[in-house]
C-alpha cells in the first residue's frame, strides 16, 4: 500500500472525531487524495494489521473487515471542514465512472471508433457511454452524431438514473462483443445534469446553444437546469473585474450577502473588491449577522446572480466568450 492508502486506512479505523482532527491538518491536495482512497478502500484484517504495524500506538478496534465508501468519507469531511466544503471535495474525488474493463476499453477508443460502435444503438445506450467519457471526448462524439439527435442524447444523459447491475452488465457485454473481448464485471453509471452541462461546455458555442435551445423547447425545466450548470457561481471568480463591477450593479446587497454566505474567502474577496469599500463592508456585516440559512435560500440567491450575468450577456453588456473557451479546452 502507498503512504496515502495507509493513512486513508488508518482514518477509516479511527472514530470520526479523531479522524476529523487529523484531516483538519491536511493540505487541500492531501485531503482530496486521502478522501479519494478512503472512498474506494475495503480493509481486510490483514491490511488493518499491516497499517497498524506502521502506525504503532493505534489500537485495533475492528474485528471484521472495514469498508470505506462515500457516505463514510462525507461524514468525516463534514466534521473536519464543514458541510459545504465537504460536498465540494466529495464531488471532485468521487469517481464519475467505474473502472470496469470493458467500459475502460471503450473509453480509451477514439471518438470516431466509439461513434461507429454506437451509431445503431438506442439513445439511452449512447447516453450511458457518454457518461463515462471525458467532456472533451464526449464533445467529439456528439459532433459526429446527427444534429437532430444531439439534444435527445443530452436530455437522456441529464436524466440518466441509476440502472440495475444486470442491465448494465448486458449493455457492457453487448458493446464489448462488437470489438471482441471477454465477459466484463458489473458496472455502475453516473450521468446527470452536471455531466450534460460539461459535455455542452466542451462543444463549440454554436452547437451547444443549438442543442440547448431545442432541448428547452421540449423540456424547459431540464434545459434551464443544464443551462445553470454551464455557468456556476464559482465561475464568477474567474471574471475580469470590469465585468464583475457591472454584475455587482445588477445585484442588491441582501442577495449578494446570502449568495456569498458559504463561498470561499477567495471568491468573496474577488467579488467584494469590485464594490466600494463602504458597500463591501456592508456585505460582510450582513453576512456576519446572518443566522443559519437553508441551502435552498443560498442556491436561490446564487441563481439570481447567475441569471443577472446571463441577462447582461444577452443584452451585450458583457462577453463571457473567453471564460467559456477556458472551460472547453
pLDDT, residue 288, reads 86
Long-range contacts of 243-249 (CB under 8 A, 24+ apart): 243/318, 243/319, 243/320, 244/270, 244/271, 244/274, 245/274, 246/312, 246/317, 246/318, 247/274, 247/305, 247/308, 247/309, 247/312, 247/318, 248/274, 248/275
pLDDT, residue 93, reads 58
One CATH from 2.70.98, 2.60.40, 1.10.287, 1.10.220 for 3-93? 1.10.220
The series of mean pLDDT values per 10 residues for the chain, 329 residues long, is: 82 82 80 82 80 60 47 69 61 49 69 84 86 82 88 86 63 69 41 74 74 85 79 80 85 88 88 89 88 82 82 76 45
pLDDT, residue 163, reads 58
b/e string for 85-113 if b means 16 or more Cβ within 10 A?
bbebbbeebeebbbebebbebbbeeebee
Integer Cα distance of 217 and 285 in angstroms: 43
Query: What's the grid cell of residue 38?
Result: 478512503
Q: Where are the domains of the chain?
A: 3-93, 101-215, 233-328
Q: What is the pLDDT of residues 67-91, one digit of tens each?
A: 556 666 767 776 776 655 665 566 5
Q: Are strands 42-43 and 66-67 parallel, antiparallel or unpaired?
A: antiparallel
Integer Cα distance of 329 and 204 in angstroms: 10
Question: CA torsion angle for 28, 30, 36, 39 (degrees, to 10)?
Answer: -100
pLDDT, residue 191, reads 61
pLDDT, residue 99, reads 41
**Which residues have CB under 8 Å from 222's CB, separation 6+?**
155, 158, 159, 193, 215
For the whole prediction, is pTM greater than 0.75?
no
Residue with cell string 464531488: 91
pLDDT, residue 69, reads 60
Integer Cα distance of 228 and 231 in angstroms: 6
DSSP code at position 161: P
Domain pair 3-93 / 101-215, same fold: yes
One CATH from 1.10.220.30, 1.20.1070.10, 3.30.1330.10, 3.30.460.80 for 233-328? 1.10.220.30
Other C-beta atoms lying within 10 Å of the C-beta of residue 172 = 26
Integer Cα distance of 155 and 124 in angstroms: 10
Residue with cell string 456569498: 260
pLDDT, residue 31, reads 81
pLDDT, residue 111, reads 84
State the burial class of residue 26 (Cβ atoms within 10 Å of its Cβ: 0-12, 13-18, 19+): middle
Integer Cα distance of 216 and 298 in angstroms: 25
pLDDT, residue 164, reads 58
For the domain covering 101-215, report its CATH number: 1.10.220.30
**Which residues have CB under 8 Å from 66's CB, separation 6+?**
12, 13, 42, 43, 48
Amino acid at each position: 500500500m502507498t503512504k496515502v492508502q495507509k493513512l486513508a486506512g488508518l482514518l477509516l479505523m479511527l472514530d470520526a472525531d479523531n479522524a476529523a482532527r487529523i484531516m483538519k491538518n491536511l493540505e487541500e491536495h492531501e485531503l482530496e487524495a486521502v478522501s479519494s482512497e478512503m472512498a474506494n478502500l475495503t480493509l481486510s484484517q490483514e491490511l488493518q494489521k499491516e497499517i497498524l504495524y506502521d502506525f504503532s500506538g493505534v489500537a485495533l478496534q475492528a474485528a471484521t473487515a472495514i469498508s470505506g465508501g462515500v457516505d463514510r468519507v462525507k461524514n468525516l469531511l463534514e466534521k473536519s471542514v464543514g458541510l459545504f466544503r465537504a460536498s465540494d471535495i466529495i464531488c471532485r474525488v468521487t469517481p464519475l465512472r467505474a473502472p470496469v474493463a470493458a467500459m475502460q476499453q471503450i473509453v480509451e477508443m477514439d471518438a470516431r471508433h466509439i461513434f461507429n460502435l454506437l451509431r445503431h444503438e438506442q439513445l439511452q445506450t449512447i447516453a450511458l457511454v457518454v457518461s463515462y467519457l471525458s467532456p472533451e471526448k464526449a464533445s467529439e462524439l456528439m459532433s459526429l452524431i446527427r444534429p437532430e439527435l444531439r439534444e435527445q442524447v443530452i436530455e437522456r444523459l441529464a436524466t440518466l438514473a441509476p440502472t440495475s447491475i444486470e442491465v448494465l452488465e448486458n449493455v457492457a457485454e453487448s458493446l464489448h462483443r462488437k470489438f471482441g473481448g471477454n465477459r466484463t464485471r458489473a458496472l455502475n453509471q453516473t450521468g446527470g445534469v452536471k455531466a450534460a452541462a460539461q459535455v455542452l461546455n466542451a462543444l463549440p458555442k454554436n452547437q451547444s446553444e443549438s442543442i440547448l435551445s431545442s432541448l428547452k423547447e421540449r423540456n424547459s425545466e431540464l434545459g434551464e437546469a443544464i443551462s445553470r450548470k454551464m455557468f456556476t457561481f464559482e465561475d464568477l471568480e474567474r471574471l475580469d473585474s470590469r465585468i464583475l463591477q457591472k454584475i455587482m450593479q445588477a445585484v442588491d446587497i441582501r442577495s449578494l450577502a446570502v449568495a456569498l454566505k458559504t463561498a470561499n474567502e477567495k471568491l468573496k474577496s474577488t467579488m467584494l473588491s469590485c464594490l466600494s469599500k463602504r458597500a463591501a463592508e456592508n456585505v460582510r456585516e450582513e453576512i456576519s449577522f446572518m443566522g443559519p440559512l437553508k441551502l435552498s435560500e443560498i442556491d436561490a440567491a446564487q441563481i439570481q446572480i447567475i441569471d443577472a450575468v446571463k441577462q447582461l450577456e444577452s443584452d451585450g453588456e458583457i462577453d463571457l466568450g473567453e471564460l467559456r473557451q477556458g472551460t472547453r479546452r
